[in-house]
Structure 1
Amino acid sequence: MAEPRFLPLPDVATELNVSESQVYHMVRSGELPAIKIGGRGQWRVERARLEQYIEEKYAETAAWVAQNPLNASEPE
């Protein structure tokens, strides 16, 4: 069975291992692209956009790590 193209926010929260309220904030702030559909205005995140978001976060983290190397005095 193919994976669904669009995910509800609770499923996105599960994928990212964060709370639903964190995902809602990410969507409302524009950090994570999403669409609002249906008569009740339910949020959905396209799986491809979620994967792109994750890749962007890996790149941001790698850049941050490169700019903030571990010092010998920092605990691991």
Structure 2
Amino acid sequence: MTRFLTLADVSEQLCITPAAARSLVLSGELPGIQIGGRKLWRVEATELENYIQRLYAQTREKVENGSFRDEA
């Protein structure tokens, strides 16, 4: 398994746009780092998994509390 993912990899795995992946990193919601002279963003695979698990936990809590609203 690759340790670091590009924002394109992140966007593909989450089925979101690259701009949305960049926003997650820039907001600090998804930890990322900039590497090299071109300051390319990378997200550690374990950080992406942690982010996904946090979203599952938040969703589970909302469902259990009856406060989940389907915004789709």
Normalised by the length of structure 1, the TM-score is 0.84
**In structure 2, C-alpha distance between the alignment counterparts of 1:16 and 1:61, rounded to whole Å:** 16
Q: CA RMSD in A?
A: 1.3
Structure 1, gaps ≥5 residues long: 71-76
In the TM superposition, structure 1's runs of 4+ consecutive aligned residues that sit over 3 Å from their partners are: none
Higher helix share: 2
Return the letter of the residue paired with 2:44: E
Aligned length: 68
User: What do the CA deviations read for 1:9-52 (whole angstroms, capped 9, x no partner)?
Assistant: 00000001111111100000000000000100000000011111
**Structure with bigger gyration radius:** 1
Aligned to 2:6: 8
Structure 2, gaps ≥5 residues long: none
